[in-house]
Amino acid sequence: MIEIIDQAFKAVFGAIGIAIFTIIFGLLYKGIDRKLAAHMQARVGPPIRQPFWDVIKLFSKENIVPEQAVGWLFNLAPVIALASSITIMLYLPIGSFGPILSTEGDLILILYLLMIPSLAMVLGGFASSSPYATVGAQREMVLMISYEFPLAIAIISIAWRLNEANVQNPFSLSSIASYPIWNNVGILGILGLLLLLVILVIVTPGELSKIPFDVPEAETEIAGGLLVEYSGRNLGMFYLADAVKTVAMATIIVTLFFPYNLSPILNLSSYAAYIADFLFYLLKVFLVILFSVTLIRVGVARLKIDQVVSTYWITLTLISLIGLVLVMFDKVAISRGWI
């Protein structure tokens, strides 16, 4: 009984700590992203602290609900989006710290959890009764259907290869972090994993509805789409959910492809090891956000909805299948001693 209470105590306070951490660093990365994007476009850009001021301002403003909206659903959607985004982080390791929650099927669970913030935005868009939000909600559903397939192929490919390497619980992120995928493949596998890494990098802006895949919001076309009727604390919660989900997506990529820590290399132990690994984790997350969000949205213009679908369903799905085939052939080649 005492052990159960102790575990519940750690889970509750660990969840609070994770929520505070992801919100703070999610907003910080947002500020850095906006500053870097501005410099790439020869602009000064807002200060890095601007996202913090934006959130404070939103939570201090009046929360307006349209007269024709389904009020309870309209107000509940941003809460679900923020809560589910934070929940994803509870299953992800951070540096040397293991996940707060862990199961044998973390990857499968995370695939479902990643859909909840988007579904919450869809429900909020439909509940707002705005024609612009309705169009945005329809586009969000099309976007979700488009990127889920290549995302699933990439994740299942990694889990399958670890299973073939006799790694226990290959769908557990703790196992994936303990047995880096690069250590279990040959040359063909490395080529396949590089393709799968590219897939996840390009899926990330779709998951986050960032340019060039921001068709559900598209301010110049549908005036903000899903969020057109949101204001005040509701809009602030969606803003926080986006910041948290950005860190979560980057952490997923780091865990799957770059789970290495600095402490074994530097021969550190105790608190020094935790600090070094945590700082190294923050650096890896920043680099993932830089390549998967900042550089892509600066270098590519918004795509049309049909272009988004063809990009994910045809181009990226084909690339992900090629990556899967290379990983499978790598296993066959190693087992038969060809490489």
The rounded distance, in Å, linking the Cα atoms of 337 and 234 is 58
Exposure string of 24-36, with b = 16+ CB inside 10 Å and e = fewer, is ebbbbbbbbbbbb
Which CA distances in Å does 143 have to 147, 197, 226?
6, 20, 13
Mean of the pLDDT values across residues 141-158? Answer: 87
- Segment among 84-93, 148-157, 197-206, 296-305 with least mean pLDDT: 296-305
Average pLDDT rounded to a whole number, residues 11-40: 88
Instruction: Give burial (CB, 10 Å; 0-12/13-18/19+) of 9.
Output: exposed
Angle at CA of residue 235, ends 210 and 137, nearest 5°:
55
User: Helices 131-164 and 317-335: crossing angle, nearest 10°?
Assistant: 10
Most confident of the ranges 5-9, 64-68, 291-295: 291-295
- Is residue 143 within 8 Å of 241, Cβ to Cβ? no
3-state secondary structure of 47: coil
pLDDT of residue 206: 86
Domain segments of the chain: what residues?
54-335
pLDDT at res. 46: 87
Residue 278 DSSP symbol: H
Provide the CA 91 distance to its chain's centre, in angstroms.
13
Poorest-confidence range of 29-33, 73-77, 122-126, 213-217? 213-217
The neighbouring-strand residues paired with 44 are: none
* pLDDT of 4 above 80: no
